[in-house]
Amino acid sequence: MVMLQFSVFPIMQIVPYNQTIPITEQTILQEDMEHMSKNISTPFRYDFVGSFLRPEELKDARRSFEAGMISAKERKAIEDRCILDLIEKQKKAGYHVLTDGEFRRATWHLDFMWGFAGIDHKPTKTGLPFQGEAAMIDDTFLTGKVTYRGTHPFLDHFRFVQAQEDENTVAKLTIPAPAQFLEQFDMPFAKENVHQFYESTEAFEADLVAAYTAFINDLYAAGCRNLQLDDCSWGLLVDPRRHTFFGTDDKGIDVIRERYLNINNAVLAAAPKELVINTHVCRGNFHSTYAATGGYDGIARYLFSRENVTAYYLEYDSDRSGGFAPLKEITGDKKVVLGLITTKSPELEDKEKVIARIREAANYISLDRLYLSPQCGFASCEIGNKLTEEEQWAKLALVKEIAKEVWG
């Protein structure tokens, strides 16, 4: 861990005629943030994906706002207080990455989409099918061309977390991957909606790349140096039911895999070079259920060999994710965060078994490029998974304990 020392002496700026003027406190803070963000970056040996269980106070506030009982300002004050408490707990737990737990969102992905022009949503009547339960999250649809509005709510969400950084911690923002955004409108039931506004999928994809690029540039200007692209699209593309999901055959699935790789890489290529961009891949995470199953074998030559991220946060908490052999397809010096601890149940994993699995993974990618985390967030949607806050922090304590033992 790089330890940074912030200067406590006045900083002077040389100006003409040998005069000196002090740089403002705000400038000092901006320079400190810039310096820190460039020197502390994800992933960490013990890490987490991003979302946390919502406190009841927060859930009540958001319900009250929806019912018109409190104002947006009152809701935000409660969100702020709950997020500050969460960040304090993250620091106390010894973690070096900070998130807002996604406390200002209803879901891990849709709220981000709603921040662009041309997107709207409404309460669902059917939900999305998960294993044994429907995820009752809003139906999301196009109302016009997708464009960046010139700002986005997530910018202020990030700034709030960034203000809590110190010499040992750095803020990261989690957003859905471009492929995840595309997948939302790639399903057979959504294509008619897309065709109302786009003559071709290529035109739609171009607008998504432009919108993401504009957002990421503004996010970078706001000081973000650690961004995570959450991506369940690959999970559906390995599921045995993938042909039904996408309404196509094997050849069509290969075309979709290529399109999803290309749109992710297009956004990655346009991002500032100093921005660390990782991706998280799982198979759905709603109220301790899942949406898909299948190993990484069928997507490794796309995702692992060719996607240009810094690191992969990979779901590996059950046999639904298959074995570690596909990790041999990871190219360059890219890193892997093994999601070996589940957030879907409260029972703590056997430490020795987890360590044995890390050693097994090291047969395919060197141990110095491996890291550890839970397989997903604790509350990808507001409802959260089926464990308590105390059990949530016990999971993270176990992740840290194992990482310390394996990597020192």
For the stretch 341-355, pLDDT in tens is 999 999 999 999 999
Tell me: pLDDT of 12 over 80. Answer: no
pLDDT of residue 6: 29
Cα–Cα distances in angstroms (integers) from residue 94 to residues 28, 311, 375, 388, 397, in the given order: 26, 21, 19, 20, 9
Mean pLDDT of 147-161: 98
pLDDT of residue 37: 44
d(CA 172, CA 339): 18
Q: Band of the pLDDT at 128, cuts 50, 70, 90?
A: confident
pLDDT of residue 39: 64
Domains of the chain: 29-50+89-407 (3.20.20.210)
CB burial string 174-200: b at 16+ within 10 A, e below? bbbbbbbbbbbbbeeebeeebeeebee
**How buried is 21 (Cβ within 10 angstroms: 0-12 exposed, 13-18 middle, 19+ buried)?**
exposed
Give bridge partners of residue 13 from the DSSP assignment.
21
Q: No. of H helices and E strands in the chain?
A: 14, 14
Mean pLDDT of 217-245: 97
Return the higher-pLDDT residue of 298 and 29. 298
Q: For the chain, what is the mean pLDDT?
A: 90
d(CA 131, CA 290): 6
Around Cβ 3, how many Cβ atoms within 10 Å?
8
Mean pLDDT of 90-110: 97
Q: Band of the pLDDT at 69, cuts 50, 70, 90?
A: very high
Q: Under a CB-based contact definition with an 8 Å cutoff, are residues 322 and 356 in contact?
A: no
Q: Band of the pLDDT at 249, cuts 50, 70, 90?
A: very high
pLDDT of residue 40: 84
Tell me: pLDDT of 5 over 60. Answer: no
Tell me: pLDDT of 15 over 80. Answer: no
* Residues sharing a CB contact under 8 Å with residue 36, sequence separation 6 or more, in sequence order: 4, 165, 167, 170
